[in-house]
Chains A and B, each alone.
Chain A
Amino acid sequence: ELKVEQNPLFLSMQEGKNYTIYCNYSTTSDRLYWYRQDPGKSLESLFVLLSNGAVKQEGRLMASLDTKARLSTLHITAAVHDLSATYFCAVDMGAGNQFYFGTGTSLTVIP
């Protein structure tokens, strides 16, 4: 059974600080996705990581993938309030096109 674990589940950080969210998964996959969800809203795609060593950056967010360690990270640089949201990682199982999600990390950026 595939498990996708994120930590931390809750993160409260001050504006201007850096932090990393971790996503571990239990089976082989070379594709990983990061999403953002605002309260009461749908999921918005942030990054698609398609191979080992892939790194993507957009603004203050940077995502990376290590398929050997089955680990992806989402690094936040100099956090701002607008980044407050819940962040999900999702793993592509490949065969059958199944996507499995982590439990999410609820991020609150405080002034």
Chain B
Amino acid sequence: NAGVTQTPKFQVLKTGQSMTLQCAQDMNHNSMYWYRQDPGMGLRLIYYSASEGTTDKGEVPNGYNVSRLNKREFSLRLESAAPSQTSVYFCASSTGTGARTPFFGQGTRLTVV
């Protein structure tokens, strides 16, 4: 059982380039999330999708867009990367009901130069 799978695991971008981070879950979860992790700041919510067909902004949405492609997949797009977006990005999913524990992918380490 793969759980939450993120691709790529590592990426280096030049300032101004665009890219899409992919996330897929095979747990039939309703809700999915994108976080960024920076030293000393914990995890900050970028965007989330409470259910298929809906997306909402989290704490730090500026510079990002998301697409909930279907129930399994939730992608994060950087249209014009900036050095301030250098971070580790985590995707997570949860059932949306019951205990609702978020389960995390392995992360994408992104460097913008």
Of the four ranges (under 10, 10 to 19, 20 to 34, 35 or more), the interface on chain B belongs to: 20 to 34
| Whole-angstrom distance between the Cβ of B16 and the nearest chain A Cβ | 28
| Whole-angstrom distance between the Cβ of A62 and the nearest chain B Cβ | 18
Of the four ranges (under 10, 10 to 19, 20 to 34, 35 or more), the interface on chain A belongs to: 20 to 34
Q: Confirm or deny: A107 has a beta carbon within 8 angstroms of a beta carbon on chain B.
A: no
| Whole-angstrom distance between the Cβ of B95 and the nearest chain A Cβ | 9
Interface contact A101-B96, CB-CB below 8 Å: no
| Whole-angstrom distance between the Cβ of A86 and the nearest chain B Cβ | 9
List residues of chain A with CB within 8 A of the CB of B105.
42
List residues of chain A with CB within 8 A of the CB of B33.
99
Total residue contacts A-B, CB cutoff 8 A: 55
Interface residues of B in 36-50 (CB under 8 A from A): 40-45, 48, 50
Q: Confirm or deny: A43 has a beta carbon within 8 angstroms of a beta carbon on chain B.
A: yes
Q: Confirm or deny: A25 has a beta carbon within 8 angstroms of a beta carbon on chain B.
A: no
Task: Select B41's contact among A33, A48, A96, A103, beta carbons within 8 Å.
Answer: A103
List residues of chain B with CB within 8 A of the CB of A88.
42-43
Q: A-facing mask of B62-103, CB < 8 A → 1, else 0?
A: 000000000000000000000000000010101010011111
B residues contacting A by CB (< 8 A) are 31, 33, 35, 40-45, 48, 50, 56, 58-59, 90, 92, 94, 96, 99-107
A residues contacting B by CB (< 8 A) are 4, 6, 9, 31, 33, 41-43, 45, 48, 50, 88, 90, 92, 96-104
8 other A-B residue contacts (CB within 8 Å) besides A97-B100, A103-B40, A103-B41: A4-B42, A6-B42, A42-B90, A45-B103, A48-B99, A90-B102, A97-B48, A101-B43
